Structure 1
Amino acid sequence: MTRPAEDFLSVLNTRSQEIFRTLVERYLDTGVPVGSRDLSRLLQVELSPASVRNVMADLEDLGLIAAPHTSAGRAPTQQGLRFFVDSMLEVGAVDEDERGRIARQMEHTAGRGQVEDMLTEASSLLSGLSHGAGVVIATKADMVLRHIEFVRLDNSRAMAIMVGEDGQVENRILELPPGYAASSLQQAGNYLSNYIVGRTLAEAKKLLNERRDEQRAELDELTQKLVDAGIATLSTPASGNAPTVIVRGRANLINDTMASDELARMRQLFDELESKDGLLDLLGDAERGQGVRIFIGSENKLFSLSGSSVILSPYKDANDRIVGVLGVIGPTRLNYARIVPVVDYTANVISAMIARKRAAR
C-alpha cells in the first residue's frame, strides 16, 4: 500500500529531499538509473559520492528508490514517483508556443467538424506533444433535437422518433394510455416539439417541469399522460450508451526494444480500452477528483498490467457538467512537469469550444 507523502516528509531532512528530487528529475529526463557519482555532480551543494550513497541507502530502505536489474544506479519506485508528484513536482504554465499550437489546431477543427472531430484532434495533439498515446474517454453526448414525432404501433404502443441536429436518429418504444386516439398522439408530438426542438432532452425536461401548471391547462388528460410518459421514457439512457474512447499514438508506446511480456501487457491495455472495460470507473474517478489526475503504474486497475502512467483531466459541457476526460498514456518516466499543464490547458480549450458550439446553435 502506498504511504502518504506526509510520512516521508516527516522522516526526510532537507538534504535527503534534495538528493531524492535530483535523482528523480535526472531519471525522468534520461530514463537511466542514476549513480551516486553522477548525483553528487548534479547537486547544488557539495557532497561526496560516499555521502550521497549513504542517503541513497536510506531512500532505498524507505522504498522510494530501487536498483533495476543489476545496475549500479538507482531509479524511483512507483511509491517514490507518487511521493515526488504529490510533494515535489513544480508545474508551470504551458509555454506560449504550445498554447498557440493547441489553440490553432483546435480552432481549425472546431470550425469544420462536430464535437467528436475535436476530441479526435485533441487525442492526436496530445500524442504529438507528449510522445505518448493521447486518449479521450467521452460519455455519449446529449443529442440536440431537430425533430420528434410519435408513430402508433398498435393499440398499446407507440414509437417515438427523435432526429438530432447532427442527423443522428434514435427510436424508443413507449406504452400508450388506454383509449388513446390518433389525434391525441399527434397533439402530444406537436406539443413536445415546441419544447424539444433545439434543446437536449434534459433541457426540455427541465423546462416542461417548470411550466407544469401551464401544461395542464393546455392539454387534456390523456395527452398529458403521453407527454409525461414520453419524457420519462426518452430521458432514460438507451442501451449501448458505453463511453466513446479515442486513442492516438499507440506506436509511441510500442517499440522493437520491448521485451515480449512488455509488448503483451501494452497490447492488453489497448484491447481493454477498446472493450471499454473500466472506463466508467475512470470517468467517475475524474469527476470525483476534479482537476488533473495522475495515475502511476498499478494505481488504476485499467492501467495496472501495462505499468503505464496516465495523466487525465476532465472537460465539461456548456452546463459545466463533466462529460469526459482526456489525457496522455505513457511510461512512468513521463515529463510530468511539462505534460500536466498541457493536458489541463487542452481540457479547458475543449470545454470552451463545446460551450461555444452549443451557444451558436
Structure 2
Amino acid sequence: MHDKAVIQSLDERSREIFRHIVEGYLETGAPVGSRTISRRLHTALSPASVRNTMSDLEELGLLYSPHTSAGRMPTEVGLRLFIDGFLEIGDLTDDERASIEGHCVAVGRNYTDMLTQASDMLSTLSGYAGLVTVPKNDQPLKHLEFVSLAPDKALVVMVTVGGVVENRLIALPPGLPPSSLEEAGNYLSERLRGSTITEARDAILKEIEEHQAQLDALASQVVEAGLADWAGGDGSSRLIIRGSGRLLEDVQAIEDLERVRRLFNDLETKSDLVNMLDLTGEGEGVRIFIGSESKLFSLSGSSMIVAPFSDSNQQIVGSIGVIGPTRLNYARIIPMVDYTARVIGKLIG
C-alpha cells in the first residue's frame, strides 16, 4: 500500500495519535505510552482507547513495541510515512541563513576548504555528523605549483581558469632536492595549462614512459605520483566527514552504543557511501535515506539527509548532508541542508 493510500485509510483519531507518537519519539528517542498520548490529545480519550488505536497502527506496520516498554515507536515504514505525509518542515531564521552563508564565504575561493567548512558547520548546527562529496576538479587549469612543507611532503596548489583554488598534500620521494620539485612544477604547469588533469594525464605519463620528458628521475616520480592522486584514480568523488564524534553524544543506552559502532563501520566504507551520495545527482532537492531503505545503513538503523549542489552550468557536481540516528530533527535539518547546498551552488558558480 502506498503512503497516500495508507494515510487515507487512517481516520482522524488514528492520524493524530500516530503523529503524537512519532513526534514524541523524535523528541526523546524513547517509546511513547498511551497515558502520554491521552494527555496530549485535543479531545478527551482514555488510555485504553489510545492503546486500541496504537494496536491498529501496529498491525499496519507503522508502529512497534520494544520488549522493554509498553510504549510504541515508529517503524522505518512509519517514519517514512510521517516524513512524506505529516512532517511540517520549518524555515530557517535570518540568523541561521546568515551563519550558513558566513561560514561558506569565509574561506574564499578554496574549493575543498569551503566544502570542509560547510560540512563542519552542518555538523555543529545539527549536532550530528556532516558529510560532503568533493568532486574531481574537471575545470581547465590556469596555474600549478609545488610548495615544500617538509623533506617528505609538499603542497600542490592548483588554480583553475575560473579562479577556484585547490590544495593537495603529496608525499615526496626520499632525497628530493628543491630543484627537482621546482622542475616537476614547471613541467606540469606548462603541460596542464588550459587542460584538465584528467585530459592531460595519459599523454604526460606516456611521455615520461617513453623518456621524452626532460625530467630527472626524482622529478618524474613526483609527477607520476601526483597525477595518479589528482586524477582521482578510480574516478570517484572524495568524501569528507566532520563531527562523527558527536554521534556518541546521542547515546542513551547500550543498544545505542552498538548502533553507533555499526554506523562508524558504515562510515569507514567510504566507497559505498560515495556511490550512495552520487545517486542524489539523479534528481534535484533533498533526499532522505532511512535505515534499511539503504543497504549501507541496514544494520546501524541510521538516517541521512542529503542535497546535491550544482555548478554554473547547472550540472550536479556533489552532495552535502547530515547523518545520524533515525530520530533526527527532520523538520529543522531538511531546510538547513537544502539552503547550504544552494549557497554552495552559488559560490562555485
Q: Same fold judged by TM-score > 0.5?
A: yes
Query: Are positions 1:132 and 2:128 aligned together?
Result: yes
Query: Are positions 1:249 and 2:247 aligned together?
Result: no
Q: Compared with structure 1, are the counterparts of its residues 9 and 258 closer, same or farther at alpha carbon in structure 2 (3 Å cutoff)?
A: closer
Query: Are positions 1:119 and 2:76 aligned together?
Result: no
Cα deviation for residue 79 of structure 1 reads: 0.8
Q: Compared with structure 1, are the counterparts of its residues 51 and 263 closer, same or farther at alpha carbon in structure 2 (3 Å cutoff)?
A: closer
Cα deviation for residue 77 of structure 1 reads: 0.9
Instruction: Tell me the residue number matched to 2:90.
Output: 92
Cα deviation for residue 280 of structure 1 reads: 4.5
Q: 1:137–1:324: 8 Å Cα contact kept in structure 2?
A: yes
Larger Rg: 1
Gaps of 5+ in 2: 145-156, 160-164, 169-189, 201-230
Q: 1:35–1:72: 8 Å Cα contact kept in structure 2?
A: yes
Cα deviation for residue 146 of structure 1 reads: 1.8
Whole-Å separation in 1 of the counterparts to 2:243 and 2:330:
18
Q: 1:90–1:337: 8 Å Cα contact kept in structure 2?
A: yes
SS in 2 for 1:277: helix
Q: Compared with structure 1, are the counterparts of its residues 312 and 58 closer, same or farther at alpha carbon in structure 2 (3 Å cutoff)?
A: same
Q: Deviations over 1:171-203 (max 9, x none)?
A: xxxxxxxxxxxxxxxxxxxxx98xx85675899
Whole-Å separation in 1 of the counterparts to 2:256 and 2:30:
18
Q: Deviations over 1:305-342 (max 9, x none)?
A: 21111100001112111111111111111111111000
Q: Deviations over 1:70-107 (max 9, x none)?
A: 21211111111011011111113212221121112222
Q: Could you tell me the TM-score, scaled by structure 2's length?
A: 0.73
Cα deviation for residue 289 of structure 1 reads: 3.1
Aligned AA (1:347): A
Q: 1:141–1:323: 8 Å Cα contact kept in structure 2?
A: no
Q: Compared with structure 1, are the counterparts of its residues 310 and 202 closer, same or farther at alpha carbon in structure 2 (3 Å cutoff)?
A: same
State the number of aligned residues.
Answer: 284
Gaps of 5+ in 1: 149-162, 170-191, 205-236, 356-361
Q: Compared with structure 1, are the counterparts of its residues 263 and 73 closer, same or farther at alpha carbon in structure 2 (3 Å cutoff)?
A: closer
Query: Are positions 1:144 and 2:136 aligned together?
Result: no
Instruction: Tell me the residue number matched to 1:32.
Output: 30
Whole-Å separation in 2 of the counterparts to 1:123 and 1:284:
17
Cα deviation for residue 32 of structure 1 reads: 2.0
Whole-Å separation in 2 of the counterparts to 1:255 and 1:311:
19
Whole-Å separation in 2 of the counterparts to 1:34 and 1:259:
17
SS in 2 for 1:245: strand
Q: 1:286–1:293: 8 Å Cα contact kept in structure 2?
A: yes
Instruction: Tell me the residue number matched to 2:47.
Output: 49
Q: Deviations over 1:250-295 (max 9, x none)?
A: 1111259566675455345444434422234313421223210011
Instruction: Tell me the residue number matched to 2:294.
Output: 300
Whole-Å separation in 1 of the counterparts to 2:265 and 2:55:
40
Aligned AA (1:78): E
The structure 1 residue matched to 2:283, chosen from 280, 289, 299, is: 289
Q: How does 1:193-272 map to 2 (within 5 A)?
A: 197=193, 239-254=233-248, 263=257, 266-272=260-266
Whole-Å separation in 1 of the counterparts to 2:50 and 2:295:
36
The structure 2 residue matched to 1:343, chosen from 334, 337, 344, is: 337
% identical aligned pairs: 51
Cα deviation for residue 346 of structure 1 reads: 0.6
Instruction: Tell me the residue number matched to 1:78.
Output: 76
Whole-Å separation in 1 of the counterparts to 2:263 and 2:138:
29
Aligned AA (2:124): G
Q: Could you tell me the TM-score, scaled by structure 1's length?
A: 0.70
Whole-Å separation in 2 of the counterparts to 1:264 and 1:50:
34
SS in 2 for 1:323: strand
SS in 1 for 2:308: strand
Aligned AA (1:104): G
Instruction: Tell me the residue number matched to 2:15.
Output: 17
Q: Deviations over 1:40-80 (max 9, x none)?
A: 11112222222211111100111111111321211111111
Whole-Å separation in 1 of the counterparts to 2:11 and 2:84:
17
Q: 2:272–2:296: 8 Å Cα contact kept in structure 1?
A: yes
Query: Are positions 1:313 and 2:307 aligned together?
Result: yes
Aligned AA (1:47): L
Whole-Å separation in 1 of the counterparts to 2:166 and 2:193:
13
Aligned AA (2:327): R
Cα deviation for residue 35 of structure 1 reads: 0.9
Q: Compared with structure 1, are the counterparts of its residues 266 and 27 closer, same or farther at alpha carbon in structure 2 (3 Å cutoff)?
A: closer
Q: Compared with structure 1, are the counterparts of its residues 292 and 126 closer, same or farther at alpha carbon in structure 2 (3 Å cutoff)?
A: same
Instruction: Tell me the residue number matched to 1:68.
Output: 66
Q: 1:245–1:273: 8 Å Cα contact kept in structure 2?
A: no
Q: How does 1:269-284 map to 2 (within 5 A)?
A: 269-284=263-278
Q: 2:123–2:242: 8 Å Cα contact kept in structure 1?
A: yes
Cα deviation for residue 20 of structure 1 reads: 0.5
Q: Compared with structure 1, are the counterparts of its residues 120 and 6 closer, same or farther at alpha carbon in structure 2 (3 Å cutoff)?
A: same
Q: 2:110–2:166: 8 Å Cα contact kept in structure 1?
A: no
Q: 1:4–1:83: 8 Å Cα contact kept in structure 2?
A: no
Whole-Å separation in 2 of the counterparts to 1:327 and 1:63:
29
